[in-house]
Amino acid sequence: MSQPLEAPLRGVRIIEMGQLIAIPWAMKMLADMGAQVIRMESCERLESYRGDSVYLNDVSGEFWNRGANFYEQNRNKLGITLDLNNAEGLSILRQLVSISDVFAENFTPRVIKNFKLEYADLRKIRPDIIMVSSTGFGYTGPWSGFGATGPSTEGASGMAYMTGYADGPPAMPEIPYTDYTAGEHTVYAVMAALMHRLRTGQGQFVDISQTQTASATIPEALMDFTVNGRIQPRMGNQHPTISPHGCYPCQGDDLWIAIAAKDDDQWRALCRILGREEWANDQRFSHQLARWTNRLELDGLLAGETGKWQAHELMKQLQGDGVSAGAVLDSKDLLFDPHLKERGFYEVVSHNSITDIPPLPYASRPWKLPGSPAVPGQAAPLMGEHNKLVLGELLCRSDAEMADLERQGIIGYAPVDPRPVQRPSLDEQVRQGRMQRYETDFQQQVSEAFPPPVKAR
Amino acid sequence: MAQGALEGVKVLDLTHHVAGPYCTKLLADFGADVVKVERPGGDPARRIPPFYHDETGPDNSLLFLYLNTSKQGVTLNLKTPRGLKMLKELVRDSDVLVENFAPTVMPSLGLDYPTLEEINPSLVVVSISNFGQNGPYRDYKANDIVEYALGGLMYIFGSYDREPLKHALHQAQFKAGTNAASATLMAMYHQRLTGEGQHVDVSIQESIASGLRDVVNNYTNTGAVRRRQPNHSGDLTRIRQTSDGYILPNPGIGAGLNWNGVVDFLEAPELDDDKFSTPSARLANAEELGDILDRIFRTKKKFDMFFAAHEKRFIYGVIQSPEEVLADEQFRHRGYFVEIDHPVTGLITYPGAPFLMEGTPWNAIRPAPTLGQHNSSVFQERLGCAGEDLARMRAMEVI
């Protein structure tokens, strides 16, 4: 008798009032692991990720059901629309909270207070509710009213200040990086609160400052100041003790390899593979401290050699001899990476046929739990896709009541004021330098490498 | 004293360096009972700079001190039969074992998952590794910069015409440590409901690759490959210089933004132009807009701008140095920095709770252990070793 393995969070119901990444990404991870996540959104105030980065850059028709970032952040969720400015809408939300385990939101405290959705309000409806608020700077304090995006919290945390080229300004990557740092800590926080609730039956309020989660990951920089009164200068890709440690050019346009030769053995192997064995015994580079002291000179010499190589080939050669090295993968390399492929990292998800989006691969999760695996991937919801399921089946609203809610604009299936962001053409984006290149046969390449999932019975 | 959220969860911590210890720190600071097992030479993180007052020493690494709060510390030489036997006895009454060795190490020590499962079928084993427990890169060597490269984050990080960049310090490791802590509790939740253990596989490369907005998607949705942008294109929320530092203006890419409000706020009539008045127009004329914005911001002071912007509900960010983070009234109000006493360093200031749990507060109940600090108490209480056993084991270099 073999029973199908079940996801660990089956039976946990989460109401999400999220936007963008910090809460949606975290709730997606919990949804993947079996929680029933009901994501609430507004027809009045369109979620930004429904209006930008749409499939084929085509903003005609129901573009709000084709947002790539929306699909990325909201897999495996049920989606409903609710107008909270209407008393009946708010009462539906409160009714949902009364039958849920977790309420998660990332609006400013002002919004939550206005709607009377604070923890003190919710625990009256559901005494053991876990409420998670994720804000830029925290739910309390003089900055609590300030809105934030990922770059604001990366800046405030101290992380951006420490990062950048040695002779340049602070730097951050081209994604809202700390939104993910916050999201990762949020998954953990919800799990810790669920563990406590499982043991004691008690809920609680979890107050996540996205900035604090980011600062938690740069402790040595903060403590170097508190203990030694020192702030280290920005040092690009250099390492405080290892050299060579950097990013070096390879053959082709904007192609690179990262190399970190951690000890004398790796250094000698690197010299051998590059055909410059004489460097291994050169007194400027013969031991770790000498290499570190002469690191700028060494980086220049290495760049002269790596430029003769194809990045993946050099990585294979170096790794084959135990040297820590990695080709700098662009987004296409990352998607087609043979290692991630063998690990099954990308999960192919089918989209509702009205979207005309073919099944597409999405990044899955950084963990595998073979004894209680993730649920099969379902695409993020269309706007209002699960109104009927959630309000009708779960809250027992009749068809007539549903029609009435729709007539009053409390629920809906499309934004009230649809305003998409039209991105410039791909040619223009390449000209501006936003994109490295584009390929016209990408649909064929993607569908061949990632065939649609076989329908489970 | 309120209990931690993870009261009653017993963790055997075989981790070293950064990713594993951050995972078990998150567990320990929120109430789990964590016993850190170090090799007799100690966790190599004890040798990572910066050091307390710049003096090296096994208890002076600030990173190590931070990463190992709330844990008890023992030493065991797992390459001796006695050391291995003692570890297996500790496995018997643990809920979780976390390790971040290279994937071949645990099996070579005789501690592969089937062996551990046989000793304790309820045990959750969490393995954190560079590339996961299988696949063609499994045995590749890596550290943070290599993970940035192979995780896809490096290619879109840095200046248009320079080499790709990574974050300072150990971001890839911290991401994986956080994800591992989450995965540990997912498996623990399952264990508490069913009694079943399992072997959890956490990959550092995948920790980076699972948090990249609009990277792989850009290719799957349009065929385009992103790159590091010139400073004046596309996304307008970019770091700009002020007279006294750096700020992150958000001149708005969302469809709902009132552009006249932005023009007024910046006192910049030259921006009152159809070339900039809609998000689509701003994308099309990004270079010109960027030049104007740079000129404006160079005359401003960063905190003045930051606070004035938030009065108008414009989402601005400010780049703070560690010194400014320490002085920040918001961090102070939240009680973020905490003082922890340690037998070697005395009382020093640490970053504290990454988030606040009202019912089960974060609490660093003890400083990072000195090497083998809890050998006597742990081996006596958990394994019933007598004092003379311990002395003998010390002499035989088992502990």
CATH, residue B144 = 3.40.50.10540
Does some domain include residue B233?
A: no
| Cα B26 to Cα B12: distance, rounded to the nearest angstrom | 14
Mean pLDDT computed over A120-138:
98
Are A138 and A182 a contacting pair, CB within 8 Å?
no
Q: Is B377 exposed, middle or buried (0-12, 13-18, 19+ CB in 10 A)?
A: exposed
* Cβ-Cβ contacts under 8 Å, A27 against chain B: none
Whether B40 and B395 have beta carbons less than 8 Å apart is answered as no
The residues with which A348 forms a beta bridge, in sequence order, are A361
A363/B214 touch (CB, cutoff 8 Å), yes or no = no
The two three-digit tokens of residue A207, written as one number = 């107050």
**Nearest CA-CA distance, residue B203 and chain A, Å:** 6
What single letter denotes the amino acid at residue B263? V
Single out the residue of A306, A333, A325, A329 nearest to residue A248, CA to CA.
Answer: A306
Q: Which amino acid is at A104?
A: A
Between residues A200 and B263, which one has the greater pLDDT? A200
Model pLDDT for residues A138-149, shown as the tens digit of each residue: 999 999 999 999
Over range A174-185, report the average pLDDT: 97
| Residues A52-66: b if buried by 16+ CB within 10 A, e if exposed | bbbbebebeebbbbb
Please give the Cα distance from A397 to A391 (Å, whole number): 6
B251, B283, B318: which is the final residue of a domain?
B318
> B383 in a domain, yes or no?
yes
pLDDT, average across residues A195-224: 98
B173 with B301, same domain: the answer is no
Mean pLDDT, chain B, whole residue set: 94
pLDDT value at B235 more than 70: no
pLDDT band at B236 (very low <50, low <70, confident <90, very high): low
Task: State yes or no: pLDDT of B119 exceeds 80.
Answer: yes
Minimum Cα–Cα distance from B154: chain A residue: A328
Nearest by CB to A162, which of B169, B193, B233? B169
- For residue A329, give the chain B residue with the closest CA: B152
Predicted ipTM of the assembly? 0.98
Judged by a CB distance cut-off of 8 A, whether residue A152 touches chain B is yes
Task: Give the one of B190, B234, B359 whose C-beta lies nearest to A204's C-beta.
Answer: B359
Based on the fold, state whether residues B181 and B312 are members of the same structural domain: no
Q: What's the pLDDT score for residue A295?
A: 97
CA distances from residue B26 to B199, B223, B262, B310, B354 in whole angstroms, order as listed: 20, 40, 42, 33, 9
Cα separation of B195 and B301, whole Å? 59
In this complex, is the C-beta atom of B228 within 8 Å of any C-beta atom belonging to chain A?
yes
Which CATH architecture describes the domain A245-330? Answer: 2-Layer Sandwich (3.30)
- Burial label for B53, CB within 10 Å (0-12, 13-18, 19+), is exposed
What was the pLDDT predicted at A1? Answer: 45
Residue A456 has pLDDT above 60, yes or no: no
Residues B118 and B179 in one domain: yes
Q: Does residue B202 share a domain with residue B247?
A: no
- Contact partners, residue A124, CB within 8 Å, separation at least 6: none
pLDDT in tens, A304-319: 999 999 999 999 999 9
Q: A421 vs B345: CB contact, 8 Å cut-off?
A: no
User: For residue B22, is it within any domain?
Assistant: yes
Contact pairs from chain A to chain B, CB under 8 Å: 574
Rounded to a whole number of angstroms, the CA Rg of chain A reads 25
Contact present, A444 and A358 (Cβ < 8 Å): no
Tens digits of per-residue pLDDT, A67-120?
A: 999 999 999 999 999 999 999 999 999 999 999 999 999 999 999 999 999 999
Final residue in a domain of this structure, among B295, B318, B341: B318
The reported pLDDT for the residue numbered A181 is 98
Query: Cβ atoms within 10 A of the Cβ of B45, count?
Result: 22
Same structural domain, B49 and B146: yes
Distance from CA of A197 to the nearest CA of B (A): 8
How far is Cα A225 from Cα B323, in angstroms, rounded to an integer? 7
State whether A56 and B222 contact (CB < 8 Å).
yes
Q: Which of B63, B225, B233, B347 to mutate to test the interface with A (most CBs of A within 10 A)?
A: B225
Find the residue in A nearest to B196 (Cα): A371
Identify the CATH assignment for A13-217+344-449 out of 3.30.43.10, 3.30.360.10, 3.40.50.10540, 3.10.620.30: 3.40.50.10540
pLDDT for position B251: 58
- DSSP H or E stretch at residue B301: none
For residue A178, is pLDDT > 70? yes
Residue with tokens 């046969």: A441
On whether both B256 and B171 belong to a single domain, the answer is no
Interface contact flag, B216 A52, Cβ < 8 Å: no
Does residue B77 sit within a domain?
Answer: yes
Based on the domain organization, do B73 and B187 belong to the same domain? yes
In-domain check, residue B94: yes
Q: Is there a contact between B248 and B303 (Cβ–Cβ < 8 Å)?
A: no
CA distance B4 to A321: 46
* Farthest-apart Cα atoms in chain A, separation: 85
The residue of chain A nearest to residue B207, with distances taken between CA atoms, is: A366
Q: What is the DSSP string of B213-231?
A: TTSHHHHHHHSEEE-PPPT
- Dist CA A80 CA A86 (whole Å): 15
Domain count, chain B: 2
Please state, for a pLDDT cut of 70, what percent of chain B lies above it: 97
Tell me: pLDDT of B253 over 60.
Answer: no
Same domain, B272 and B186: no
A326 and B150: CB-CB below 8 Å?
A: yes
The residues spanned by each domain of chain A are: 13-217+344-449, 245-330
Q: Are residues B204 and B119 in the same domain?
A: yes
Based on the domain organization, do B258 and B362 belong to the same domain? no
Would you say residue B232 lies in a domain? no
Antiparallel, parallel or unpaired: β B33-38 and B10-13 = parallel
Q: How confident is the model at residue B233 (pLDDT cuts 50, 70, 90)?
A: low
Mean pLDDT of all residues in B207-222: 96
Reported confidence tier of residue B256, pLDDT bands at 50, 70, 90: low
Mean pLDDT computed over every residue of chain A? 96
Question: What CA–CA distance (Å, rounded) separates A225 from A219?
Answer: 10
Residues B38, B195: contact at Cβ < 8 Å?
no
Q: What is the rounded CA–CA span in Å between residue B206 and residue A369?
A: 14
Q: Name the residue of chain A whose CA is nearest to B121's CA.
A: A371
The candidate with the shortest Cα–Cα distance to B38, out of B87, B81, B110, B88, is B87
- Helix intervals (H) in A82-176: 87-98, 109-114, 119-125, 150-157, 159-162
pLDDT for the residue B386: 85
Placement of tokens 């030049």 in the chain: B291
> ∠ CA(B185), CA(B189), CA(B194), 5° rounding?
145
Residues B170 and B49 in one domain: yes
* Contact criterion met (CB < 8 Å) for B355 and A189: yes
Q: Is the minimum CB–CB distance between A161 and chain B shorter than 8 Å?
A: yes
Question: Which of A149, A343, A426 comes nearest B237 by C-beta?
Answer: A149
Q: For residues B370 and B46, what is the distance between their CA atoms, to the nearest angstrom?
A: 10
Interface residue A243 vs chain B (CB under 8 A):
no
Q: At B251, which CATH number?
A: 3.30.1540
Nearest CA in chain A to B217: A68
Q: Do B182 and A184 touch (CB under 8 A)?
A: yes
User: Are B195 and B244 members of one domain?
Assistant: no
Q: Do B239 and A365 touch (CB under 8 A)?
A: no
Count of beta carbons in the 10 Å neighbourhood of residue A138: 25
Does A395 contact B at CB distance below 8 Å?
Answer: no
d(C-alpha A192, C-alpha A198), whole Å: 10
Instruction: Please say if the pLDDT value at position A250 is more than 50.
Output: yes
Name every chain B residue with its beta carbon within 8 A of the beta carbon of A54: 221
Q: Which domain holds residue B165?
A: 10-211+332-395
Instruction: Give the DSSP letter string of A304-358.
Output: HHHTTS-HHHHHHHHHHTT-EEEE---HHHHHT-HHHHHHT-EEEE---GGGTPP
* Cα–Cα dist B336/A341, whole Å: 41
B55 touches chain A (CB under 8 A): no
What are the backbone dihedrals phi and psi of residue A15, each rounded to the nearest 5 degrees, phi first? -100, 125
- The amino acid present at B38, given as its one-letter code, is E
Whether A452 and chain B come into contact, CB under 8 Å, resolves to: no
B10 has a chain A CB within 8 A of its CB: no
The pLDDT-based confidence of B370 (bands split at 50, 70, 90) is very high
CB A197 within 8 A of CB A101: yes
